[in-house]
Amino acid sequence: MKNSIKMLVLDSNESLTKDIEKYFSSHDVIEVVACINNGEDGLSYILNNVDNIDVIVMDLVLPKLDGLFILGELAKRKIHKNIIITTNFKDEDTLEEANSYGISYYMLKPINFMSLEKRIMSIHNKIQTHPITLFNQEKMLTDLLHNLGIPSHVRGYQYIKEGILIVYRNSRSISYITKDVYPLIAKKFDTTPTRVERAIRHAIEISWNRGDINLMEEIFGNSLNVNRDKPTNAEYLTTLADRIKINNNLAYA
């Protein structure tokens, strides 16, 4: 496919990789160049086809070689690709380590293919937009958080708003939620990073129980069911920061 976005998929779930390949099989722009189910073969494919890959969609948990190892090897070899992490993994330290390698985005499994498509297009095109105004930031965030079921009187509401703005304005903060973002919020609201972390977690629990299901499916993927897992604080903040960026892109497109 001429002038296509060439995508490599690395995931141990063969059924998922086949579904992704099928979804994009007739896409006008995105072309799946390979689907690989273990990290060893995946790393080998990348090293041998560097110029034929634009974006890598990858789970962190892979047989033979895991995702963090692959990210580390690519960094050592100075191979820079747009990388979207799709995972069920919840450990914030691991996610922050993955982010430190400069990944483009991560999505909570099970993923929504339409959301994945939008992320790939947005990341690849790297749309340059006018800076969003403070007023629009506040309005977008207020509407978004209310629709997600977080009441404004809950302490974590203000902390989440501030955290999203920090991540929105400085993408480096994505890699340092615990070390950078919590302390900055704590300083502004005269509290401690531990209390900030707990309050945000509590607000997310409220959101997960009373938010707009359709909106949550659109933003966080199609994992919403009776026993659905909540996103981590880092996932919640970075995903909503990305949502604001996408809305801003659409506003100025």
Domain, as residue range, for 204: 134-252
Residues 141 and 121 in one domain: no
Residues 38 and 115 in one domain: yes
Residues 121 and 162 in one domain: no
Residues 25 and 95 in one domain: yes
Rounded CA gap, 200 and 64, in Å?
36
Residues 116 and 217 in one domain: no
Residue at a domain's end among 77, 96, 125? 125
Residues 16 and 119 in one domain: yes
In one-letter notation, the amino acid at residue 114 is M
Rounded CA gap, 67 and 100, in Å?
13
Rounded CA gap, 61 and 42, in Å?
12
Residues 118 and 146 in one domain: no
Burial 117-142 (b: 16+ CB within 10 A, else e): eebbebbbeeeeeeebeeeebeebbe
Residues 142 and 237 in one domain: yes
Q: Which residues face 7 on adjacent strands? A: 32, 55
Q: Within 10 Å of residue 22's Cβ, how many Cβ atoms? A: 11
Residues 79 and 164 in one domain: no
CATH of the domain at 186: 1.10.10.10
Residue at a domain's end among 125, 143, 173? 125
CATH of the domain at 57: 3.40.50.2300
Residues 179 and 231 in one domain: yes
Residue at a domain's end among 125, 159, 191? 125
Residues 83 and 158 in one domain: no
List C-alpha distances in Å: 40 to 12, 106, 180, 253.
11, 21, 34, 40
Rounded CA gap, 146 and 249, in Å?
22
Per-residue pLDDT in tens (0 to 9) along the chain, 253 residues: 556 899 999 999 999 999 999 999 999 899 999 999 999 999 999 999 999 999 999 999 999 999 999 999 998 888 888 899 888 766 667 777 777 777 888 787 888 898 889 888 888 776 433 333 444 556 677 888 888 888 888 889 999 988 888 887 765 545 568 788 899 999 989 999 999 999 999 998 888 888 777 777 777 764 444 345 678 888 888 888 877 765 554 333 3
Domains: count for the chain: 2
Contact in structure between 7 and 24 (CB atoms under 8 Å): yes
